[in-house]
Amino acid sequence: MDNVVISSKNATLLEVLDRVLDKGVVISGDIVISVANVDLVYLGLKVLLSSVETMEGMRGAPMSGANEEPT
């Protein structure tokens, strides 16, 4: 059996995208790109983000951490 562990440094772009685009703390910065609510439509590894919203002046809006959205 080959080693099962791939260090995250050598991880595929897919693995990184799967986290960076979809997870992590979402807060209301000055400009919040609500990648949280974006439906990710991937075409091969070409990633299209279908609805990127830029919200300004939303301080105080409810926020969430790791988002779990059913597909």
In the complex, the smallest distance separating the C-beta of residue 60 from another protein, rounded to whole angstroms, is 4
14 makes contact with another protein (CB under 8 A):
yes
Cβ contact 20:6 at 8 Å = no
23 makes contact with another protein (CB under 8 A):
yes
Q: Would you state the structure tokens that stand for residue 36, as one six-digit string?
A: 């949280």
Helix (H) or strand (E) holding 55: strand 54-56
| 26 to 45: interface string for another protein, x by CB under 8 A | xx-xxxxx-xx-----xxxx
**Whole-number Å distance between alpha carbons of 71 and 48:** 16
Binding residues for another protein, rule: CB under 8 A, are 1, 4-9, 11, 13-27, 29-33, 35-36, 42-49, 52-54, 59-66, 68-69, 71
